[in-house]
Structure 1
Amino acid sequence: MVQTRRFKARSNPSTKQIESDPFDSLQQTSTTTTTSSHLQQNVNKPSLCTLPPETFLQICKNLSPADLLSLSRTCKLFYNDLCCEDSLTIQEIWRQSRYSFMPYRKLVPPEGMSERQYVRFLLENKCHFCGRKSKSTKIYWERKIRCCAGCLETRMIDSQDVEPIILQILHCRWDRNGTRVYWRDQIMEKIKEIEPLSQTERVEWGEQQYKKFKLNERELNRRNIEDNCARRQQRYDRKKIIDEKLNEMISETNKNGSPIWIRAYLEKCSSLSKAYTYNRPFTERSWKILKQKLVREYNEMLDADESEEIDFICGEYLSDLDSNNSEDKN
């Protein structure tokens, strides 16, 4: 049986019996003598799996949130190590990684989310309802979900025939027509709560719900402000990487030393302008796809310019012929 690492959570400091820090137990484990049979088991294992646990965690401390997510999906061993929600040490690794590589995300995770779940929520462009990652999604903090435009449209309703006491405690959005809309399931839930109540009980219920709504609203405002800052920073970081890649492309030369690409043409490509507008990270794969589009558009523009130049030259030539013929007749 393959031995797996386990990182236990620290006990509550208020209790008398306090478990040792995971790093302490790991260091003790690493000092024990490894038997020949255990070495034989590790012969065919990947190199990372054979690292001492404390060394593995030290490596993880320097990884980005995206790298940590990828590593946790490589095998069951790493999943157990990095997805231990009860370990303060593991949660601290995810937190420090977020602070280091996502400095625009300083707020703590929402209630009910661990550090790992929070990072995954921020990075994965996956709709909560349809589960598709191919569509662009938006974060809705009042629900703590990501949702694509299609799923959102089918789950929002207007405020017709809904009591004001319910509308004042729910977060609304505006559709394309400027109509105020609400989450359908939230309205139905509140209707079920208020139906059996008397008029006096409804007033008391509304006051309690409104207090909760205002507290939650302040939290949502902070989240939305951070979202705006994050989008600006992500676009800036993305543009910086794209510009670096573009400069590398422009520096490419032919065998005779002449440049292959003309900057003015590349900067006119619509795919480049569109690439600047996205918020998601710009990876090597993203550049490979973008470069293919740039090359295609670049060649199309060159062909169009050559065609226009030929038409212009032909037009000038025909104009000269007409002038010469007129002079001969005179």
Structure 2
Amino acid sequence: MQNQSVKEEIKMGLTDTTSSKEKETTQKPTYSSSQLLSLPQELFMDICENLHPKDLYTLSLVCKQFRIILWSNSTNTQQIWCNSRSKFLKSNIKLPNSLTEQKFIWLGFLGHNCQYCGQDLEDNNRRRFWEFKVLVCSKCADEKSICDINFRNDLNYLMNATSPGYYGTNPYYWKSDVSRVVDEYNSLSEDEREGWIKNKQAELRDDIQVIEALRTQETEINLNKFLCNILSR
């Protein structure tokens, strides 16, 4: 019963939507970060199961210990974020192995700033590339990507080892990803390169189906927004 009481206090504190004026005249939540820190890890994880992803992000900023737990790639931590995503964001898509739950939720739901320059992202200045796992403004997207034609002209031998990202119907390649792939390729002997390319192709096949589903979902959402704007005029 005592553990249940602590759970409820913490949950209420993290999801509190009371206005500032109301808070001045009401009792402050009785939980504290010290209470959380003193909890057994299993109980802490149990509490996290019932928090919105935004609250999980907030909690991860409280202290190093919480960040280590909530930023882990462990199966248990990934399941916490997955359950929260399903419960509060109504998103049940299966993620590729290369994309963590934390990164997916930030890219798809919580990110509002360019991860390079920090600029606030408006709808017409937002570039989300699932393939590269980045959310950026149009200026940074132009600076940090290369177009399909240039990639084919300069690095055609790596076409089967990389996958382009798309904004609309235009394919792009992320410069840092290309640089990493080139370095990997150049570090191999001639005999090793063919096997390496085959392994890269297998990795891409694992990701491409999910990424295409994400892209289709995003296109449908944008289309619905566009139609709603037209109908509301």
Matches of 1:111 and 1:197, distance apart in 2: 23
Contact 2:160–2:197 (CA under 8 A) maintained in structure 1: no
Indicate how the Cα distance of structure 1 residues 156 and 121 shifts in structure 2: closer, same or farther if over 3 A, else same: closer
1:139 corresponds, among 123, 128, 144, to 128
Tell me the residue number matched to 2:176.
185
**Higher radius of gyration, 1 or 2:** 1
In structure 1, the residue corresponding to 2:204 is in which secondary structure?
helix
Tell me the residue number matched to 2:117.
130
Higher RCO (CA < 8 A, seq sep 6+):
2
Give deviations 1:121-147, integer Å, cap 9, x for gaps: 432233232233335433323322222
Matches of 1:108 and 1:175, distance apart in 2: 20
* Matched residue type, 1:138: R
Percent of pairs identical after alignment?
21
Indicate how the Cα distance of structure 1 residues 231 and 103 shifts in structure 2: closer, same or farther if over 3 A, else same: farther
The number of residue pairs the alignment matches comes to 198
Indicate how the Cα distance of structure 1 residues 186 and 108 shifts in structure 2: closer, same or farther if over 3 A, else same: closer
Indicate how the Cα distance of structure 1 residues 105 and 133 shifts in structure 2: closer, same or farther if over 3 A, else same: farther
1:94 equivalenced with 2:81 (yes/no): yes
Tell me the residue number matched to 1:313.
none
Contact 1:141–1:223 (CA under 8 A) maintained in structure 2: yes
Give deviations 1:169-200, integer Å, cap 9, x for gaps: 22235789x876433334444444555777xx
Q: TM-score of the superposition, structure 2-length normalised?
A: 0.58
2:137 corresponds, among 148, 153, 157, to 148
Q: TM-score of the superposition, structure 1-length normalised?
A: 0.44
Tell me the residue number matched to 2:151.
159
Contact 2:164–2:172 (CA under 8 A) maintained in structure 1: yes
In structure 2, the residue corresponding to 1:162 is in which secondary structure?
helix
Structure 2 unaligned runs (5+)? Answer: 7-27
* Matched residue type, 1:168: N
Tell me the residue number matched to 2:160.
168
Indicate how the Cα distance of structure 1 residues 221 and 101 shifts in structure 2: closer, same or farther if over 3 A, else same: same
Task: Give the Å deviation of 1:88.
Answer: 6.2
Contact 2:128–2:134 (CA under 8 A) maintained in structure 1: yes
Matches of 1:197 and 1:89, distance apart in 2: 36
Tell me the residue number matched to 1:216.
204
Matches of 2:185 and 2:202, distance apart in 1: 19
* 1:1-330 equivalent positions in 2, closer than 5 A: 46-49=29-32, 50=35, 53=39, 60-73=48-61, 75-76=62-63, 79=66, 83=70, 85=72, 91-108=78-95, 110-111=97-98, 113=100, 115-122=101-108, 123-135=110-122, 136-157=125-146, 158-159=150-151, 161-173=153-165, 181-194=172-185, 201=190, 205-229=193-217, 232=220, 273=229
* Matched residue type, 2:164: C
Matches of 2:97 and 2:81, distance apart in 1: 15
- Quote the RMSD (CA, aligned, Å): 4.6
Task: Give the Å deviation of 1:47.
Answer: 0.9
